[in-house]
Structure 1
Amino acid sequence: MAARYFSPFQRGDIPRDRSHYAPRLPSYSSAVREKIHLQSSGRTWLEPMSGFSSHTRRIRLRSLSPIPRFRFSRRRGFCRCLAVLAGLCAIVILLTLLGTEESHWTPQFRDSTLVFGRENLQRIWKWEIESGHYPSNGKIPDQIGFTSAILNPALPPAKAHTLISPFTPPPGPVTTVTRGVGPRRVYLENKKESVDIAYPPRPIPGSIADLDIILEQCNFSEGKYVRDCLEFLRATASLDSGRSVRRGSLDGWRYIFTEEGRPEEERPRSTQSAPTVPEGSYPTGRQNSNAGLTKKRNTRWELPLELPLPAQQSLLSSRSIGCNPANLRLFHMFWAGPFNEKPYVALLSFLFTQNLGLHLEPGQEPDACRPQMWLWINPGPAAAIPNPSALTDMYDALKTNPWAAPFLHPRFKDVIKFKLWNTTEQLDNNLELRDEWRNMETLFNSGGVTVSVPADEPAASSSASSSRVGDMVHRLGSKSEATYDRLSVILSDMARFIITHRYGGIYLDADTVFLRDWEELWGWKGAFAYRWSYHDDYNTAVLHLNKGSALGSFLFRTALKNGLDFHPVAVSKYLREAHLENLLLRVPDALFDPAWLNTEGYQVERPPYPFFTGFADFFDTPEVHSAAPQATGFEGFFRGSFSYHFHNFWWKPFDPARNWPDLGPKFAGGERAARAAANPHADPDDWTDNISDDKRDLDWATVLKRTFEGYIRGERPNMYGEWLRW
């Protein structure tokens, strides 16, 4: 995508007064120089320069000329030179004032968000490591300043330890790696030992995805392609069973492991607090224990966090760990507005892909911990206070809603649970916020954009701005692109952190479709989100936090001091400035958002399949590609990814021609009501489904919805060849 710049004078716009131009003919070193001069009229600071980005896209750039090409014989050129010198002096002064925690003045756009000193940051790191939440070989940042080894029960013993790395300048080294004392890892390939190879095998119970290896194979910053990443993911998981092409040994691609046995030398877990850096001993040489950290201005350092003792880690094989209230596998989603086909399809995809034991006889338990989906319902507008009967009202509404009622069936009661969201109750049960959140000017802040909710709003307002605010406050759900419910989105930015910190588990945005079993991700005990396209920021559309973790406490206290802003970019800034990014692993977006880079114009020369140039392609597949959805089906949709995020589009139906739940005789009542709502002028006793009434080329969204519905109707098995038993 070429960036275009315009010079002050376009061709044909040369001033009439040419007396200041030199009378001699110009001379050029090359034709390229002549073209540059003619296009810019010699009056631009920007020089065109062709080059290549790190991701093989040709880009037309204009670099900022360090010395403007002014004609010094004229007053105008002299004034411009003075302006340049003044600007350079201003920059020098700014650089002098910025960058230290002792600065009393920092421009707003450069203000730090950091409110935790080094001792607190060390305690957070140490607590997370000793709790088994750091199964990664990622380095501990030098700025944390550890000077002694930390035992890591989530890593196996290394054959050779490199515990101390030198730090320059003196006075000494700091520790940047942990010492593994956990179970040994056995890496394997998930093969299906059965003649029924038309469907892939379920992941091995207790197996774990090594996200370090996935990052090596899929890191966009290292020039890795989403297409290659998806092949790597599906090959090791045998998702191409019966359809794979011989590629040779996959030993170098193995990212799935199981934990076996105990380490040869089991070491006791330390329960002492993290080591602190003595005054003046931090390697920067400055006489300050927080030297090198830039504190948020006009804010005191936070007091030491009150943390429980790290949880004792079991060194037995993870296969032997059963399901109990302490380690439930909880998926969370948040929904505001009337229940419609968007959460309906999300829940269907959950039933179609996860190991829920629905293929077993009722009452029979699967051999792996059964996941649950908790769908949090905000029954009114984001700013509304639930009434005393809100829970009863919520279930009454779900029972009469044809899109929601099927999930209240007794067969799904152990795997899908509806939860009432109450903002006040949730904040009051958050230890980090409950004593201070009521003092905030607003709870609705995202990316620095705040929305204030009037305490007493008049029924009618003559002010246009007040009317817009009132409309936003009372809006419930997004019915079109023009009526986007921004307030509920801002609330969900906060809700996902509150839910996962209080209950544990993985949060997903409701505009997500599951594409495979997440067993291997549950085995990774560390916290994670995924990358924001090509940026070095997080997207928390998928977020895993451990229940009651030190990382969660840090995020809430930091957000509290920064306007309760939980926008993903703000969270990225919190973690970056505190040197805690490795504790929330930023996994490649190929795992959860495989189309994002293509929609931003990246990797279009080698895209994954299908190739989307915009997220709308999911709902309105371009005609030139419209044969693919029916020809390849669910199995051809970003095979290898764990999920697909279609980025809002709440107003676009999945199946315009059949915009109702089509789940068979068991749910005929709901289907009848939805059909009547979709076709109010049709005679219910004369409904027939003619192929001529359907769209000729089905879109990807339609194919996925109808695939999931076929599983519930009993017309096909799920993606692993298992039939639903009622």
Structure 2
Amino acid sequence: MPSAPLPNNSAVYEKLHHKSQRSWTKQVFLPIPGVPKRHLRVLAPNLPSLRQLQGKLPKPMGRKRTLILICFACMAMVMTVMLFSRNVGTPEWPESWPPGDPSTLVFKREDLQRIWKWEIASGHYPSRRSIPKMIGLTSPPYNPGLPTKQRNLPPSRYRPPPSVVTPNTDTDTMGVGSKRVYLDIQSVPPNVAYPPRPVSGSVADMDVIMKHCDFSGNKYVRDCLEVLRLGGGLDNGQRTRRGKMDDWKYIYMEQSNATVEVPSESSEDDETHPYPVRRPLAPGEADAAEDPDGGLSKKRGVEWEPQLVLPFPLKHTPNAALLSPCDPENPRLFHMFWTGPFTDKPYLALLSFLYTQNTGIHLEEWPADSSVCRPEFWLWINPGPAAAIPNPNALNDMFEQLKLSPWASPFLHPRFKDVIKFKLWNTTEQLDGIPEIKNEWRILQDSLFNSGGYVISVKHEDESSTNETSTKKADEDDIINRTGSTSASAYDRMSVILSDMARFVLCHRFGGIYLDADTILLRDWEELWGWKGAFAYRWSRLEKYNTAVLRMNKGSALGSFLFRTALKNGLDFHPMTVSRYTADAHIEGLLLRLPDALFDSAWLNTEYYQRDRPPQPYFVDFADFFDTPQQSSAAPQSLGFNGFFKGAYSYHFHNFWWKPFDPTRNWPDLGPRFVVGERMARAALEGKNVTFSSAIAEDLKNTEAEETVESDKRDLDWSAVLKRTFESYIRSERPNLYGEWLRW
């Protein structure tokens, strides 16, 4: 097993790469009168080093050496004062050093303030985390997403006037919202065999989750999953006494009977704006007003964006006060993007949705007065290569192909029509539906496939000559015309790049949560829907985003910022680039970076982290999901679905599109209702060409009689166990995660 690379800041690294040698000078920090929390750094002679040097120099140079060293020390002090004195009396904006990636910022500080205030006023920031000082807010914004809290403010004579900018500290928001009641979720006897469904309208407190799960705070995935299990009531009937666990309660209800009205912040605010902005300093208020955008690093070669046009903020309405179970401003839509032939990958994602979410298929009919907001799964199909333009009959062709696909046709059954919907993806139509870029994106249409600065150029047919087409290399044609990934070497990179952009387009246009197609849902997401902020999750050990799970609000200020910024940066939506967008603008708090334990519990282990206390199951490689190591291959069948990262909301198996979940039964095994598709898939594995009509007429009795235990794999892998678990629910042979039986 390869060893983990040494971190750059480790003591071992320093020993290997740095010699032990004393410096001639040392740093001395002197306080600056009148400037609290600031010190002047002065380089002073290091006397022990000088004495050591004195013994090594020739004796005749004694007096000259002393004079030279004194001059050197004086020059060092003068240079230090000249270098650092420019910071005295100026705002304490962080410098943009050390140098790294070039800045992506195109918005001024005033627009960044307006974005923050719009999101907070709309209830999209139900968090107690502070607003960064670089935003430069002068007073705490009212926050309807936080409960009202008594504030003990100092006397007015000790507070700075509201017109004075005090950028040296972060800014807290002022809660003016409803009271929170944290829930103790447990099954009620005698129904203790299965966990209860989450309470309708409940909300996950992300501050509590970050407290117990944040990798930056040295929190283990294993411990995080325990908090998620117990706080979510998933361990009922199997709970071990742990003492008082009030600190682990992370799900709450908002108590309110009306919408939360956000009071006006100041009568001096500009009333032409639908939300307050920072009042600029009037002439004469200061001898020399500082640069309003001081400390911000603008993208080179572009002008500042004009003032961002935003609608009025939304009125935050607690879930308990909604007129209907579903919030019209917060639709419960799962989005997924797929290119090429339908395979077992989106098949299993849809099955996991039916197995875990409150879709109502366990009821004969969805009640009109239900208190539950029914989620929907929108699967967006790009029928051809990512760069192709759909033909006029693309929608009809798409449904015809879905009907003939054994993996897709089961979800066209009328029982699922209200919760699973197939949508046709059209890049032009989707980009035209984004008002922030619809008039400008065509300038970049030849370089739309931009991922992390790596651009795949796609020429139009009328721009490329016949000679150029004939001289293209076969592998280049493959990249352009590929539809799906058939192996690690034949990877559909174009579709992956397109999906990087599609997730932001779909969430900004329609709202909801985007999921990568290599995602399996593991529990009900009710309380995640209740939390109205935007989120993605952490890129393993790095403080970057992974947007395999992305939640954004429809038509939000955050979305407007991202699309305008992306337009000026080549429409690059790679998660690493999006991380730069938010970091350069100091708005990372508006797109919360959740711990990967919630959605990607194996990631840290696969990168050699936390292997001293791994979660269950213990994967050292993502391939272990498909090929479980022999030493731990008893766990999948012994523990089943309940032993698979219990507490996490989903699992991300990171590609492996070409690897079947269940090699020995690589077909949809959903029972007599869908036997036609099963017959077609099994015949295809045998190399037979079976048409739809012949499969209907085929009698499967002989085929079923041939199946024996000996023909199956002895130790099933985790991927096979999960697939067979979901399929048995559709066959009505077992209940779902919450003890509900599917009714046909």
Confirm or deny a common fold (TM above 0.5). Answer: yes
Which residue matches 1:235? 230
Deviation at 1:468, TM superposition (A): 2.9
Are residues 316 and 531 of structure 1, via their aligned partners in 2, closer, same or farther at CA, if it must alter by over 3 Å?
closer
Q: For the residues of structure 2 that align with 1:266 and 1:482, how far apart are their CA atoms? A: 56
Are residues 162 and 233 of structure 1, via their aligned partners in 2, closer, same or farther at CA, if it must alter by over 3 Å?
farther
Q: What secondary structure is seen at the aligned counterpart in 2 of 1:160?
A: coil
Is 1:651 equivalent to 2:661 in the alignment? no
Amino acid at match of 2:453: G
2:260 touches 2:317 (CA, 8 Å); kept in 1? Answer: no
Are residues 162 and 114 of structure 1, via their aligned partners in 2, closer, same or farther at CA, if it must alter by over 3 Å?
farther
Are residues 606 and 464 of structure 1, via their aligned partners in 2, closer, same or farther at CA, if it must alter by over 3 Å?
farther
Q: What secondary structure is seen at the aligned counterpart in 2 of 1:317?
A: helix
Which residue matches 2:408? 404
Are residues 462 and 647 of structure 1, via their aligned partners in 2, closer, same or farther at CA, if it must alter by over 3 Å?
same
Q: For the residues of structure 1 that align with 2:455 and 2:212, how far apart are their CA atoms? A: 39
Q: For the residues of structure 1 that align with 2:511 and 2:710, how far apart are their CA atoms? A: 49
Which residue matches 2:211? 216
Identify the match of residue 692 of structure 1 among 710, 733, 737.
Answer: 710
Q: What secondary structure is seen at the aligned counterpart in 2 of 1:487?
A: helix
Identify the match of residue 568 of structure 2 among 544, 558, 561.
Answer: 561
Amino acid at match of 2:730: I
Q: For the residues of structure 1 that align with 2:675 and 2:18, how far apart are their CA atoms? A: 67
Q: For the residues of structure 2 that align with 1:282 and 1:394, how far apart are their CA atoms? A: 65
Q: For the residues of structure 1 that align with 2:225 and 2:404, how far apart are their CA atoms? A: 41
Which residue matches 2:16? 62
Write out aligned runs for 1:88-127 (5 A): 110-127=101-118
Write out aligned runs for 1:501-520 (5 A): 501-520=508-527
1:280 touches 1:288 (CA, 8 Å); kept in 2? Answer: no
Are residues 341 and 110 of structure 1, via their aligned partners in 2, closer, same or farther at CA, if it must alter by over 3 Å?
closer
Which residue matches 1:356? 359
Amino acid at match of 1:455: H
Q: For the residues of structure 2 that align with 1:47 and 1:374, how far apart are their CA atoms? A: 44
Q: For the residues of structure 2 that align with 1:328 and 1:395, how far apart are their CA atoms? A: 25
2:484 touches 2:492 (CA, 8 Å); kept in 1? Answer: yes
Deviation at 1:482, TM superposition (A): 1.0
Q: For the residues of structure 2 that align with 1:280 and 1:290, how far apart are their CA atoms? A: 18
1:447 touches 1:569 (CA, 8 Å); kept in 2? Answer: yes
Write out aligned runs for 1:418-429 (5 A): 418-429=422-433
Is 1:623 equivalent to 2:577 in the alignment? no
Which residue matches 2:256? 261
Q: For the residues of structure 1 that align with 2:321 and 2:356, how far apart are their CA atoms? A: 22
Is 1:371 equivalent to 2:375 in the alignment? yes
Deviation at 1:162, TM superposition (A): 6.4
Q: What is the CA deviation profile of residues 114-147 of structure 1, one whole-angstrom value per residue up to 9, with x for unaligned ones?
A: 0000011011011101111110111101111111
2:194 touches 2:737 (CA, 8 Å); kept in 1? Answer: yes
Q: What secondary structure is seen at the aligned counterpart in 2 of 1:327?
A: coil
Q: What is the CA deviation profile of residues 38-95 of structure 1, one whole-angstrom value per residue up to 9, with x for unaligned ones?
A: xxxxxxxx999755xxxxxxx89623348699xx99xxxxxxxxxxxxxxxxxx9xx9
Structure 1 length-normalised TM:
0.84
Q: What secondary structure is seen at the aligned counterpart in 2 of 1:202?
A: coil
Which residue matches 1:382? 386
Is 1:305 equivalent to 2:312 in the alignment? no
Identify the match of residue 601 of structure 1 among 590, 595, 608.
Answer: 608
Q: What secondary structure is seen at the aligned counterpart in 2 of 1:185?
A: strand
Which residue matches 1:132? 123
What is the percentage of aligned positions where both structures have the same residue?
Answer: 57
1:119 touches 1:277 (CA, 8 Å); kept in 2? Answer: no
Q: What secondary structure is seen at the aligned counterpart in 2 of 1:292?
A: coil
Are residues 358 and 182 of structure 1, via their aligned partners in 2, closer, same or farther at CA, if it must alter by over 3 Å?
same
Are residues 172 and 432 of structure 1, via their aligned partners in 2, closer, same or farther at CA, if it must alter by over 3 Å?
closer
Q: What secondary structure is seen at the aligned counterpart in 2 of 1:418?
A: strand
Identify the match of residue 635 of structure 1 among 633, 642, 651.
Answer: 642
Identify the match of residue 450 of structure 2 among 422, 445, 456.
Answer: 445
Which residue matches 2:494? 487
1:3 touches 1:61 (CA, 8 Å); kept in 2? Answer: no
Are residues 329 and 462 of structure 1, via their aligned partners in 2, closer, same or farther at CA, if it must alter by over 3 Å?
closer
Q: What secondary structure is seen at the aligned counterpart in 1 of 2:546?
A: strand
Deviation at 1:251, TM superposition (A): 0.9
Q: What secondary structure is seen at the aligned counterpart in 1 of 2:551?
A: strand
1:333 touches 1:375 (CA, 8 Å); kept in 2? Answer: yes
1:209 touches 1:256 (CA, 8 Å); kept in 2? Answer: yes
2:260 touches 2:315 (CA, 8 Å); kept in 1? Answer: no
Q: What secondary structure is seen at the aligned counterpart in 2 of 1:586?
A: strand
Deviation at 1:314, TM superposition (A): 2.4
Which residue matches 1:15? none
Identify the match of residue 156 of structure 1 among 147, 160, 163.
Answer: 147
Q: For the residues of structure 1 that align with 2:185 and 2:160, how far apart are their CA atoms? A: 41
Moved more, 243-252 or 135-144: 243-252
Q: What secondary structure is seen at the aligned counterpart in 2 of 1:348?
A: helix
Q: For the residues of structure 2 that align with 1:423 and 1:61, how far apart are their CA atoms? A: 54
Amino acid at match of 1:713: R
Deviation at 1:274, TM superposition (A): 1.8
Deviation at 1:237, TM superposition (A): 1.2
Are residues 228 and 384 of structure 1, via their aligned partners in 2, closer, same or farther at CA, if it must alter by over 3 Å?
same
Structure 1 segments unaligned to the other structure (5+ residues):
6-45, 52-58, 74-91
Q: For the residues of structure 1 that align with 2:126 and 2:723, how far apart are their CA atoms? A: 37
Q: For the residues of structure 2 that align with 1:555 and 1:436, how far apart are their CA atoms? A: 15
Are residues 267 and 112 of structure 1, via their aligned partners in 2, closer, same or farther at CA, if it must alter by over 3 Å?
closer
Is 1:200 equivalent to 2:195 in the alignment? yes
Q: What is the CA deviation profile of residues 466-521 of structure 1, one whole-angstrom value per residue up to 9, with x for unaligned ones?
A: 44332201011001111000000000000000000000000000100000000000
Deviation at 1:165, TM superposition (A): 9.7
2:600 touches 2:650 (CA, 8 Å); kept in 1? Answer: yes
Q: What count of residue pairs does the alignment treat as equivalent?
A: 653
Amino acid at match of 2:600: D
2:136 touches 2:165 (CA, 8 Å); kept in 1? Answer: no
Moved more, 194-203 or 460-469: 460-469
Are residues 678 and 114 of structure 1, via their aligned partners in 2, closer, same or farther at CA, if it must alter by over 3 Å?
same
2:111 touches 2:307 (CA, 8 Å); kept in 1? Answer: yes
Is 1:287 equivalent to 2:295 in the alignment? no
Which residue matches 1:710? 728
Q: For the residues of structure 1 that align with 2:429 and 2:410, how far apart are their CA atoms? A: 29
Amino acid at match of 1:431: P
Which residue matches 1:143? 134
Are residues 210 and 466 of structure 1, via their aligned partners in 2, closer, same or farther at CA, if it must alter by over 3 Å?
same
Are residues 107 and 442 of structure 1, via their aligned partners in 2, closer, same or farther at CA, if it must alter by over 3 Å?
farther
Structure 2 length-normalised TM:
0.82
Structure 2 segments unaligned to the other structure (5+ residues):
24-55, 58-79, 91-95, 266-273, 690-697
Which residue matches 2:269? none
Are residues 524 and 47 of structure 1, via their aligned partners in 2, closer, same or farther at CA, if it must alter by over 3 Å?
closer
2:124 touches 2:534 (CA, 8 Å); kept in 1? Answer: yes
Which residue matches 1:415? 419
Amino acid at match of 2:459: P
1:162 touches 1:177 (CA, 8 Å); kept in 2? Answer: no
Is 1:526 equivalent to 2:533 in the alignment? yes
1:330 touches 1:372 (CA, 8 Å); kept in 2? Answer: yes
Deviation at 1:527, TM superposition (A): 0.3
Write out aligned runs for 1:469-484 (5 A): 469-484=476-491
1:206 touches 1:318 (CA, 8 Å); kept in 2? Answer: no
Q: For the residues of structure 2 that align with 1:567 and 1:183, how far apart are their CA atoms? A: 37
Q: What secondary structure is seen at the aligned counterpart in 2 of 1:331?
A: strand
Which residue matches 1:80? none
